[in-house]
Structure 1
């Protein structure tokens, strides 16, 4: 039993005419008649006597009319409630965020967001596993160039990677001037990036350095600390290393390469609720362009 048939039935009963009901519903007379017929077939009962100029309710039609009005009223109320919830910045959000980025930058911004919107309850999963919306998340923050298919994606800001080393390391081993020089230095390598090589963007083509890792590790925190301790050269995102650079604990190595930039995006289902839209706008404003950690 379709709702449009119930709406057509109530309209004809109220107007006393199929022509007038069709005019109010902005439908053709034949469409209204078809919907009435479909409703009668679905119910197995005749609701209107349509032999006369003014259709008259049958006993079954009279019995159904009050219930049909309630169905329409409850449906309209449900639509209004859903619309109100969609427009209201309230409810729950579950988001997935890469751990290091979340710990350093998303956490503090979430606190200001929740202070601004006290009726939003947030569950934030800080983990370096690849997360998907199908796992029950409302949104997934990603640091990757690929755009996920079949979902909406917005760029929040950018991640820039630079080569860094401690002054103590550079004093002992010298400062590399070219990509080729890196092959003669000790490297701190992020294991999840695969083989022991670093691929850089040059002006025209990509340049690969086959590095010799002294330390292979899966933690950006440990990579940064190892670099500060002078164990070798690390290739780190500036959102992770910039504070140590400003403090003089690390130095940026300029090999004349093009900037290594990866978008930081947020993926979500189309037509997001107001609470998610508010979070996205809050994150964009807080991160800035360029991001605050690079300024």
Structure 2
């Protein structure tokens, strides 16, 4: 008889691409994963994986069996979730990817009370700014800021968000206060370099406008961009959830040029075709309530609410 543990090990290994990563996700040793795969292959009488020291690939039989195995694992998850929901409890593993700065500043503090109220929930929160493939990397969902373009994702909006221009009082005293889009061309810019695009985009009555201020510093981390702006190195365009406290304490000033950036959102998304579990839906509802709409971090800022 085919054992469920073997099917889960096979699906996880196929998605992870390696035994080591599968073992990490399943929280068991690599040798146990290997044993479960070997037992599954013996039971089925077919080789499912080609394993070498450098890579792991599916055989033809493995590719065929994977489609069935994915459905089996998904049905088990749904069944376990329904039973937990009937009991009125949230339990079992949940793996979510989220941006580093937002996770540290807002997501963690919002989730800690929720986890304390649901001690049987086993959350793994992976903080990473890179774009992840939700399904193939074994995530139940991702949380992101901005636009989510992957059509294979089902997106829930948690709250609105926006980016604002900020600079330190010392910088503005030295270089002057920009009042128009054209004024920005003559200022020093602290740019976010992760996406490789060093420009600022605004919404005007004539349509989208792009500003390319003189680069003073390029960084791929929002915390460091904020700190560089506080240090007076230039103007930064940053999400309100990063700079709210600094504007409130006066170390940064909001720069109003008469135009807003395009409205963005904080999203939670899961792969299309998967029924979201009760625990994931509960996390989404909790975060919506915790963040508010407009979110609490924008209340200290002037302008759109």
- Paired position in structure 2 for 1:181: 183
Instruction: Report the CA distance between 1:80 and its aligned residue.
Output: 7.2
d(CA) in 2 for partners of 1:260 and 1:248?
A: 25
Residue 263 of structure 2: SS of its match in structure 1?
strand
Gaps of 5+ in 2: 1-76, 300-305
TM-score by length of 1: 0.70
Q: Does residue 207 in structure 1 map to residue 209 in structure 2?
A: yes
Q: Distance in 1 between matches of 2:237 and 2:189?
A: 9
Give the alignment of 1:116-265 within 5 angstroms.
116-134=117-135, 135-265=137-267
Q: Does structure 1 retain, via aligned residues, the 8 Å contact 2:78–2:277?
A: no
Q: Distance in 2 between matches of 1:212 and 1:268?
A: 38
> What corresponds to 1:83 in structure 2?
82
CA deviation string 1:261-290 (max 9, x = no partner): 211111114322211111111111101100
> How far apart, in 2, do the equivalents of 1:281 and 1:79 lie?
19
Query: Counterpart of 2:65?
Result: none
Please give the root-mean-square deviation of Cα atoms over the aligned residues, in Å.
1.9
Q: Which residue of 2 aligns with 1:97?
A: 98
- Count how many residue pairs are aligned between Structure 1 and Structure 2: 218
Which structure has the larger Rg over C-alpha atoms?
Answer: 1
Are the counterparts in 1 of residues 101 and 223 from structure 2 also a CA contact under 8 Å?
yes
Question: How far has the Cα of 1:193 moved from its partner?
Answer: 3.7
Are the aligned partners of 2:169 and 2:251 in contact in 1 as well (CA < 8 Å)? yes
Contact 1:132–1:140 (CA under 8 A) maintained in structure 2: no
Retained in 1: the 8 A contact 2:81–2:277?
no
**Matching residue within 282, 285, 288 for 2:286:** 282
- When residues 92 and 80 of structure 1 are mapped into structure 2, their CA distance, relative to the original with a 3 A threshold, is closer
Answer with 86-95 or 272-281: which moved more: 86-95
The structural deviation recorded for 1:151 is 3.2
| 8 A contact 2:166–2:252 mirrored in 1 | yes
CA distance in 2, matches of 1:220, 1:111: 23
Q: Contact 2:191/2:215 (CA < 8 Å) preserved in 1?
A: yes
Q: Are the counterparts in 2 of residues 151 and 267 from structure 1 also a CA contact under 8 Å? A: yes
Q: Is the 8 A contact 1:188 1:214 kept in 2?
A: yes
- 1:108-128, CA deviations, whole angstroms, 9 ceiling, x for partnerless residues? 111111011111011000000
Once the 2 structures are TM-superposed, how far is the Cα of residue 82 of structure 1 from its aligned partner? 6.3
Relative distance call for 1:81 and 1:252 in structure 2 (3 A) is closer
**Mean Cα displacement is larger for which, 194-203 or 105-114?**
194-203
Structure 2: distance between partners of 1:232 and 1:281: 38
- Name the CA shift for 1:90/1:185 in 2 (closer, same or farther; >3 Å): same
Q: Match for residue 277 of structure 2?
A: 273
* Structure 1 residue runs without a partner (length 5+): 1-77
1:154 Cα deviation from its structure 2 partner: 0.5
Give the secondary structure class of the aligned counterpart of 1:184: coil
Task: Write the distance in 1 (CA, Å) between the matches of 2:172 and 2:231.
Answer: 12
1:13-35: per-residue Cα shift (whole Å, max 9, x none)?
xxxxxxxxxxxxxxxxxxxxxxx
